[in-house]
Structure 1
Amino acid sequence: MKQYRILLFYKYIPIPDPESFAAEHLLFAKELGVKGRILIASEGINGTLSGTIEQTERYMAHMRENPLFADMVYKIDEADGHAFKKLFVRHKKELVTLRYHRRLDPMTEGGERLAPKQFHEYMQRDDVVILDGRSGYEYDLGHFRNAIRPDVDSFREFPEWIRDHMAEYKDKKILTYCTGGIRCEMLTAVLKEEGFRDVYQLDGGIVTYGQDPDVRGRGFDGNCYVFDERVSVRINQTDEHVLVGECYHCGAKTDRYVNCADDSCHRQHLCCDDCLTAKRGYCSAECEAHDRAVAASGA
């Protein structure tokens, strides 16, 4: 058994005085020694953190003592060490930045939840459309087979993108999914507000789907993008597992995202092992030349 864990969790629940709660929670998390990112808003909490088994057990026990979070669900992954370098606990206006024309309540306005086995069964049907609820660069690393790739870089772009690209599917069953489930809580509410009637979401997201013993990630191609030091996580635990990410330089299949070695660029791009060596971590010859020029100038 590995000595560290990564917890992924969220819950939509009204939090009185969220700014004070965020400040208190930061002190608690610091004292505990966990690392990660936790967002707190008047509408709830959303977090990913890493720590030892003891630290994560203490964190969950502490949260269960609070009536607001007593039934909060945690996705748990074993790890060799911390998945984050620092700890951030921040108060935000929205758990998922949407800036929609009206405030949506995902708990009452969202789509029907499907357990992993149900989701897999629905994927086999001819009358469904599968919509990835993440950004395009996340899709490029891995996605459910036949899912639509959204051409968005941030979640708040979804409403306009849906109006421009999804109108022809209004009579279809729409299956949505995201990493841990929270974005689809809001995305399905947006879809219903935009006139889609038959809308569903993968309960627990891709992470839960990969851990479910009935499906074991079946039907998910490539790897899942995660917002921690791991970056890329395998989901499909069956012999169907394939890579779908394509190297930015040569097009070879890869599951590796790297940041451009030029500090003024840091473009995150898919890169195979051969090109990582050949290109020395740069996304372009221009970035390498720029980096050399900066080094030569002593700046």
Structure 2
Amino acid sequence: MNKPYSILLYYCYTPIADPEAFREEHHLFCLELNMLGRIIVSKEGLNGTVSGLKEDCEKYMQTLKADPRFSNIDFKVDASEEHAFTKLHVRTKAEIVHSGLLHINPNVRTGIHLTPKEFREMKDQQDVVVLDVRSDYEYSLGRFKNAVTLNIENFREFPEKVDELKEKYKDKKILTYCTGGIKCEKASAFLLEQGFENVYQLHGGIIKYGMEAGGEDFEGKCYVFDNRVAVDVNKVNPTVISTCHVCGTNSDRMVNCANPVCNLHVPICEKCGVEMEGACSAECKEHPEKRPYDGTGYYQKELNGYNPLKGFNRRKTKQVTE
């Protein structure tokens, strides 16, 4: 059965002279195509995850690729029964992924890009270290077999961990990976800057590896930043590595704690979800603000009359009448 929607994951490091002007233009274009999702515009490029009807997504991709600035953009495309988002946000920021490494331009120097096939062939070699540059809640749900993980809550903490990596792995070949490839662009460049000599990155990230290499040896599920929360990657030798926050049994069912004050994002099995009414602890179960549990552990944010044009300063256009 053909699914009517597509979910696009993409990024492109390319100079954008006037990010705010581009943001307004791009926001309007997304509205015209009924696209939903999150897009970041910066002087250094574009980063987005969006969803829409297949034909609208095709037009979106064709239009971006027709712009010389984005001609090399690599879209990861997944089919869906529905939109993966409820809102459209197009924002300008200093970086397209927050790292604090503003001086690094991946177009000048970065790790050697490996195709999923090349990554699969290299990852188990004796002189290779496979490095996960994602946050702890992401790799706790799924990661490559024998990958080195970092105790970080967000990517901007990555530079602080490089000295630890130097002590153990400076003379090794470092294969970095992340969800879609964007974090590796600056992570691998920073490793080179800090004296590592053999640095590589999985082009297209975990998502593309699953699509083109069957996801072999990726254990668990891949955390994604849309309403799906987690997606299957491994079609060759799948397994579950995450455990229920409450009882410790294997579970890859990611939920938010029903207590909105806590809102902890962790795996909780179906049995504990029912018994705890969606809460992550006895204290949260008794919290007066606890949300009703519907069995999913996913709580839709209140739209509160959401208007995608709010704060959107569309330039005045001259009305042409016949």
| TM band (smaller chain) | over 0.9
Q: What's the % identity of the aligned pairs? A: 47
Aligned residue type for 2:111? G
Given candidates 284, 290, 293, the residue that maps to 2:287 is 290
Matches within 5 A, 1:75-224: 75-100=76-101, 103-212=103-212, 215-224=213-222
Given candidates 264, 267, 289, the residue that maps to 1:267 is 264
Q: Deviations over 1:162-207 (max 9, x none)?
A: 2134422100111100000000011001111121111100011001
Aligned residue type for 2:255? V
Q: State the aligned residue count.
A: 291
Q: Deviations over 1:54-101 (max 9, x none)?
A: 11012112212322112311110000100011010001100111113x
- Contact residue 258 and residue 291 of structure 2 kept, 8 A: no
Aligned residue type for 1:26? H
Shift of 1:16: 1.2
Could you say which structure has the higher helix fraction? 1
Shift of 1:6: 0.2
- Contact residue 259 and residue 289 of structure 2 kept, 8 A: no
* Distance in 2 (alpha carbons) for counterparts of 1:219 and 1:15: 38
* Distance in 2 (alpha carbons) for counterparts of 1:248 and 1:198: 38
Aligned residue type for 1:225? Y
SS in 1 for 2:286: helix
| Structure 2 gap ranges (5+) | 293-322
SS in 1 for 2:79: strand
* Distance in 2 (alpha carbons) for counterparts of 1:128 and 1:54: 42
Aligned residue type for 1:94? E
Q: Deviations over 1:226-269 (max 9, x none)?
A: 0000011000011x100111111111111111011112111111
* Distance in 2 (alpha carbons) for counterparts of 1:172 and 1:108: 23
* Distance in 1 (alpha carbons) for counterparts of 2:268 and 2:148: 23
* Distance in 1 (alpha carbons) for counterparts of 2:66 and 2:104: 28
Provide the TM-score with structure 1 as the length reference.
0.94
SS in 2 for 1:201: strand
Shift of 1:293: 8.7
Given candidates 240, 245, 249, the residue that maps to 1:248 is 245
Paired position in structure 2 for 1:3: 4
Aligned residue type for 1:226? V
* Distance in 2 (alpha carbons) for counterparts of 1:35 and 1:294: 26
| Structure 1 gap ranges (5+) | none
Paired position in structure 2 for 1:277: 274
- Contact residue 258 and residue 290 of structure 2 kept, 8 A: no
Shift >4 Å, 4+ stretches:
292-295
* Distance in 1 (alpha carbons) for counterparts of 2:194 and 2:252: 35
SS in 2 for 1:56: helix
SS in 2 for 1:175: strand
Paired position in structure 1 for 2:46: 45
SS in 1 for 2:63: helix
SS in 1 for 2:146: coil
* Distance in 2 (alpha carbons) for counterparts of 1:47 and 1:294: 31
Aligned residue type for 1:27? L
Q: Are positions 1:18 and 2:19 aligned together?
A: yes
- Contact residue 133 and residue 176 of structure 2 kept, 8 A: yes
Shift of 1:43: 0.6
- Contact residue 6 and residue 78 of structure 2 kept, 8 A: yes
SS in 1 for 2:140: helix
* Distance in 2 (alpha carbons) for counterparts of 1:263 and 1:203: 37
Shift of 1:30: 1.3
* Distance in 1 (alpha carbons) for counterparts of 2:290 and 2:276: 17
Paired position in structure 1 for 2:226: 228
SS in 1 for 2:273: helix
- Contact residue 260 and residue 289 of structure 2 kept, 8 A: no
Q: Deviations over 1:18-38 (max 9, x none)?
A: 111011111111121010001
SS in 1 for 2:287: helix
